[in-house]
Structure 1
Amino acid sequence: MPFEIRTFPTGQLQANCFLLIDKATNNAALVDPGDRSEKIQNMISIQDINVTHILITHAHFDHMFGCGFFKSLYPSAKLLVHQNDVPIWAGNVKFAQMFGIKAPKDYINQPEGTFKDGEVIQIGQSQVEVVLTPGHTPGSVCFIDKEGKIAVTGDTLFGQGIGRTDFPGGSAEQMRDSIVKLKKILGTDYVIYPGHGGSEKSGRAIKGAEMMI
């Protein structure tokens, strides 16, 4: 089944946190919790949603500083990131200081597990495929729901552009390759949900990205 998707900007940098809900079971994945959010917590509680996974598109602080808060609420949820971004995760406290942001007291200093390129993650009766898209970070990924034709693209592909490649671990060459990869997978009729900003049709988003790579 396709997912129902809810979007919640979080933290000082307003990174998007997504809730991917399998309506058949009310199981869900929380993607990129950048900060604690009572608004998300309340919605999950009111709708009696069972959070089974906390998935991270890439390990920058603005996409995972809320992991401790939500992990304390949903301790059985699997907290996962791509294996290539585990070293990025470890440097987040210092990286956040560059932006004048302190790590939360409940900061989790490492993920519980990792996933690989091409791995399929089952959430209730629905599933997402992990697609490795390095460039912004070595382990940046997109989560793709092929049935619903939606893609959570993190800071790889925005509605109008691409993520920065000048942070540690970034690569302009890898970003170009990742956009080519996404163009083949998504075509023009998916809806992308990026790490910052609003959703967009994949065709328009990729056309804009191609002008920047």
Structure 2
Amino acid sequence: MPLEVRTFPTGLMMANCYLLIDEQTKHTAIVDPGDSNERLAGIIKDLNLIPTMILITHAHFDHIFGCGYFKSLYPSLKIYCHKLDFNLWTTNPTVALRFGFNTPDDFQDQPDLELQSEINIGNSKLKVLNTPGHTKGSVVFICEEQKFALTGDTLFAEGIGRTDTEGGSYRDMNESIQLLEKVLGDDYIVYPGHDQEEKSGIALEFAKECF
């Protein structure tokens, strides 16, 4: 059975939080919970979903500040993040203040586990691809069977993420976009960290114009 993808723009910066739902088992991954989201929590309850993990595309506050909220609802959840963003994770309270945001009381000061090369959600599988540029530990989650990718702030529908923040690199971003061009077919659906989804061929054409 396929994975269902549901999108929930979350927080004042409207970062996309995703539910990846295995339709057969109801096992569900919460991806990039940037803030508490009662509507999303209500849908999880109403649909009798079984959250099994929190997946992080990169460790910026607008993508992780809701981790504590969902762990309070589901204490067994583990937070998975790329190891190269573990140090960046701890800087978020300071960085958030620079943008005028307060750190939630339930902030998780570290993720629980390192992302490996593959993630299983119910009967479905995601490939985990490190795509540095926005942060050193930025990743893209790829479902090859269903031809979609969650690209975080690496690849947007009409551009790329910033490379001028801590851990960012314009050169690394260029190399990551070249890698995605090789890995993703033109007909993949890209689900980015902000704004709307797009076909990968169109999104990558916009991205290449940034270099």
TM-score, normalisation: structure 1: 0.98
User: Per-residue CA shift, 1:123-173, capped at 9, x if unaligned?
Assistant: 100111100000000000000111111100000000000000000110000
Cα distance in structure 2, aligned partners of 1:138 and 1:49 = 32
Q: Partner of 1:161 in structure 2?
A: 159
Alignment of 1:102-141 (within 5 A): 102-116=102-116, 119-141=117-139
Q: Partner of 2:181 in structure 1?
A: 183
| RMSD between superposed Cα atoms in Å | 0.7
Alignment of 1:64-75 (within 5 A): 64-75=64-75
User: Per-residue CA shift, 1:8-51, capped at 9, x if unaligned?
Assistant: 00011000000000001000100000000000000000000000
Cα distance in structure 2, aligned partners of 1:212 and 1:16 = 22
User: Per-residue CA shift, 1:53-87, capped at 9, x if unaligned?
Assistant: 10000000000000000011111222110000001
Which letter maps to 1:123?
Answer: I
- Identity between Structure 1 and Structure 2 (%): 53
Q: Partner of 2:6 in structure 1?
A: 6
Cα distance in structure 2, aligned partners of 1:164 and 1:141 = 15
Provide structure 1 residue ranges, at least 5 long, that are not aligned to the other structure: none
Q: Report if the CA contact (8 A) 1:2-1:145 is conserved.
A: no
Corresponding position: 1:145 with 2:143: yes
Cα distance in structure 1, aligned partners of 2:66 and 2:137 = 19
| Candidates 171, 174, 187, aligned match of 2:172 | 174
Report the 3-state secondary structure (helix = DSSP H, G, I; strand = E; otherwise coil) of the residue aligned with 1:147: coil
User: Per-residue CA shift, 1:183-203, capped at 9, x if unaligned?
Assistant: 111020100000000000000
Cα distance in structure 2, aligned partners of 1:80 and 1:115 = 5
Corresponding position: 1:24 with 2:17: no
Report the 3-state secondary structure (helix = DSSP H, G, I; strand = E; otherwise coil) of the residue aligned with 2:17: strand
Cα distance in structure 1, aligned partners of 2:115 and 2:22 = 20
Provide structure 2 residue ranges, at least 5 long, that are not aligned to the other structure: none
Alignment of 1:189-208 (within 5 A): 189-208=187-206
Q: Partner of 1:85 in structure 2?
A: 85
Displaced runs of 4+ in structure 1, greater than 2 A?
A: none
Cα distance in structure 2, aligned partners of 1:2 and 1:129 = 15
Cα distance in structure 1, aligned partners of 2:2 and 2:133 = 28
Cα distance in structure 2, aligned partners of 1:88 and 1:152 = 21
TM-score, normalisation: structure 2: 0.99
Q: What number of residue pairs does the alignment pair up? A: 211
Cα distance in structure 2, aligned partners of 1:153 and 1:71 = 23
